[in-house]
Amino acid sequence: MSKVLIISSDCHAGGLPANYEKFLPKKHHEAAGKWWVAYVKEMIARAGTFFDQEAMDDYAEKTGEHGQFQTFMQTSETIADDVLMNLLNDGTSPFSPRQGEWDAKVRLDELEADGVAGEVIFPQMAPFGAGLMQYRYQVDPEQNHAGLRAYNGWLAEFCNQNPGRHAGVALINLDDIEVTCQDIRDAKASGLFGGVLLPTSTGEFPFYHHPRYEPLWELCEELDMPLQTHSGWSPDYGDAPGATAMFISEVDMWAQRSFAALVWSGAFERHPNLKLILTETGTQWIIERLRVLEFKANLPIFNHFKKDLSLTPTEYFQRQCFIGASFLPVHEGQQRHKIGVNKIMWGSDYPHLEGTWPNTADALKTTFLDYPEDEARAMLGTNALDVYGFDQSLMESVAERVGPELSAVTGIAAQNGAA
């Protein structure tokens, strides 16, 4: 076809606080309300570093949302908790300001207008500290588990509103691996999830080189549920002036760590069909990371650690891993052959403002100009089609309707038939 199938391998969705109540046992409702208020107030208290004025001005220019954000910031410091909660449930919060985050109909329209046929959905903040920041906050473990299950329940229902168009990423925690495995079985059984979010931090538990996670690896292979990492977690840099700059400088690094752990734990060796997808952690970093791991693995001291491994770190990566490259900067795209065109999946990061939405067409032209057709198609859609198990004929029929012309992306008219 002349159109390009675009699957965004990196999008985000989350409900308004009230949306989760249906999926949360009654006994947690009051605590959940308090948790949201405390969380948002903490974010606001840090806004001086986290949402700095100049960045907000840039965003306002792009979106026209400045006034709403300012009002929220100014009033939320002084208003009563219940009024704040009402504002959050109106979608007035600067942390979830776009209706497409919780409204599946608005979302689909916006994705389609942006040229995107299918998407992979990562969380925003979920109740009780679940989601990308799992184990960053001190939370009651029972509440945290209820919170992640509530998110999964909400997300399943959300994905089900546009069947076949959204692959959810299910939340887990690591408190009890038997429970974790049951959560993954539930997610798989729903048919609405494309993967499992592997927490970036393991909190007080050992990191992923430890054998305690073996049942998790085994199950994810058995069910063909890819493991997912996604940047977002970091240690607490506090409120020093340089804190946000440090956060942004290091945030990818924390989410990249699981790769080495799965190599040295033998998880990739014992489970050759286990997949690990590293999303919004950058792209080019894997070249340097593999260089370091190969170098270290060739030190004499590694003979012992390698003795049960039949492949090298690079070979495990090529066999079992993928990079969710998000909005792939030009210079990272130029390194694609060093990584493997079949390893890279583009993503718009919808609805985040640092992503390409609603200007994806322009962004694609910038990065993919002069790419050979098969490379552009692989990175923009067909890699994700396979990895996340989207329905090919559904995706292609949607792409015929909403996708960009290949020539508008690469500057070159389509040569092939169907991708």
Distance CA 101, CA 149 (A): 18
Find the helix or strand (DSSP H, E) in which 321 lies: strand 321-326
Closest CA to 82 of 117, 123, 30: 30
Q: Does 248 bind a second copy (CB under 8 A)?
A: yes
Residue 191, helix vs strand vs coil: coil
Structure tokens at 401: 């309707």
Q: How many other CB atoms are found less than 10 A from the CB of residue 362? A: 9
Provide the total of helices (H) and of strands (E) in the chain, helices listed first.
Answer: 21, 8
Q: Does 38 bind a second copy (CB under 8 A)?
A: no
- In the complex, the smallest distance separating the C-beta of residue 20 from a second copy, rounded to whole angstroms, is 29
Phi then psi for residue 21, to 5 deg, are -60, -40
Q: Does 204 bind a second copy (CB under 8 A)?
A: no
Given 25, 163, 206, 272, the residue binding a second copy (CB under 8 A): 206
Q: Which is nearer to a second copy, 137 or 305 (CB)?
A: 305
Q: Does 253 bind a second copy (CB under 8 A)?
A: yes
- In the complex, the smallest distance separating the C-beta of residue 165 from a second copy, rounded to whole angstroms, is 30
CA angle 268, 287, 333 (to 5 degrees): 115
Structure tokens at 238: 């506090």
Contact 28, 16 (CB under 8 A): no
Given 135, 151, 158, 264, the residue binding a second copy (CB under 8 A): 264
Q: Which is nearer to a second copy, 252 or 405 (CB)?
A: 252
Q: Does 209 bind a second copy (CB under 8 A)?
A: yes
Q: Which of residues 340-359 bind a second copy (CB under 8 A)?
A: 354
Q: Which is nearer to a second copy, 127 or 282 (CB)?
A: 282
Q: Does 95 bind a second copy (CB under 8 A)?
A: no
Given 104, 285, 315, 412, the residue binding a second copy (CB under 8 A): 285
Q: Does 252 bind a second copy (CB under 8 A)?
A: yes
Contact 414, 373 (CB under 8 A): yes
Closest CA to 197 of 211, 212, 184: 184
- In the complex, the smallest distance separating the C-beta of residue 97 from a second copy, rounded to whole angstroms, is 16
Structure tokens at 39: 């969380």
Given 228, 244, 279, 410, the residue binding a second copy (CB under 8 A): 244
Q: Does 45 bind a second copy (CB under 8 A)?
A: no
Q: Hunting for tokens 């990818």 — which residue is that?
A: 252
Provide, for the chain, the percentages of residues in helix, strand and coil under a 3-state DSSP scheme, each rounded to the nearest 5.
55, 10, 35
Q: Which is nearer to a second copy, 27 or 212 (CB)?
A: 212
Give the range of 146-154, 179-187, 263-271, 367-375 binding a second copy by CB under 8 A: 263-271
* Residues of this chain that bind a second copy (CB under 8 A): 52-55, 58, 206-207, 209-211, 235, 237-238, 240-246, 248-250, 252-253, 257, 260-261, 264-266, 282, 284-285, 287-288, 291-293, 295-296, 299-305, 307, 329, 331, 354
